[in-house]
Amino acid sequence: MKNRDEIFKLYIDPDNFREMFHTPFFQNGYIYASNGSIALRVCGNMLKKKNILKSQKPDCSNLFPETEKEKTVSVNQLNKLLWAADMIEKTTKTATYVKCKECEGSGKVTWQYGDYTRDCECPVCNGSGNIRKTEKVNIEKRIFNKDAIIKLEGSEFRAEHIQIIVKTMKLLEITEAKMQWDKNTKSMKVVFDFGNGIAVLIAETHFYQI
Ligand SMILES: [Zn+2]
């Protein structure tokens, strides 16, 4: 399996409060990795199980559904859907400053009462010597809105999940995957089969119950 560790990393969630989502685990011939909303299953024969712990909990024997109907999807098709989905602009702000006229940039002003003089912090610029003039908003880059809804072959997915599918396909160096639907719930659970015993399950609802 190409890029095994990078692929597993896409599916686990080390910060999740549930320990079962922290690392991949081996169970009944398969290696599973999940963050609670998306799950990767790899047939154990495909790779060395070095450094992967065996775990009987959670029981994943019924996690992946029996599927029917199949549709081939390409990485290009998924990428196009991602780019057409809702995006967020990531911005940074740049402020420009001008020299304070009151203190001429020194940050200090002199008060004078007759013969008595005293230096004080400039009340206009608060002693900085500069006045904030404008704030420029720079668009750094456009990023995916991970919660955007992507419609694909009659099912709806979060952009975040489609992005993980695309990344996985790139790491596996494949251009096509097979979409398969749960026989019982129809569009509720969808499997992306990458071949060679590697598959991903996306459920519309979270599967914390596993
Ligand atoms: Zn000033």
Q: How far is the CA of 115 from the centre of ligand 1 (A)?
A: 23
Centroid of ligand 1 to alpha carbon of 112 (angstroms) = 17
User: CATH number, domain at 109?
Assistant: 2.10.230.10
Report how many domains make up the chain. 2
Which residues are registered as beta bridge partners of 72? 178
Range of the domain at 98: 91-140
- Comparing 16-30, 170-184, 188-202, the range with the smallest average pLDDT is 16-30
- pTM score above 0.75: no
CA of 98 to the centre of ligand 1 (A): 10
Token pair of 179 as six digits: 């979409």
The CA 194 to ligand 1 mean position distance, Å, reads 65
Residue 163 belongs to a domain: no
Listed range (71-85, 119-133, 180-194) with the worst mean pLDDT: 180-194
CA of 104 from ligand 1 middle (Å) equals 6
Kindly report, residue by residue over 48-82, the tens digit of the pLDDT.
666 778 887 788 888 898 888 899 999 999 999 98
Same domain? For 9 and 68 the reply is yes
Q: How remote is the CA of residue 110 from the centroid of ligand 1, in Å?
A: 11
Q: Is 188 exposed, middle or buried (0-12, 13-18, 19+ CB in 10 A)?
A: middle
Q: 131 alpha carbon to ligand 1 midpoint, in Å? A: 8
Q: In this structure, is residue 124 part of a structural domain?
A: yes
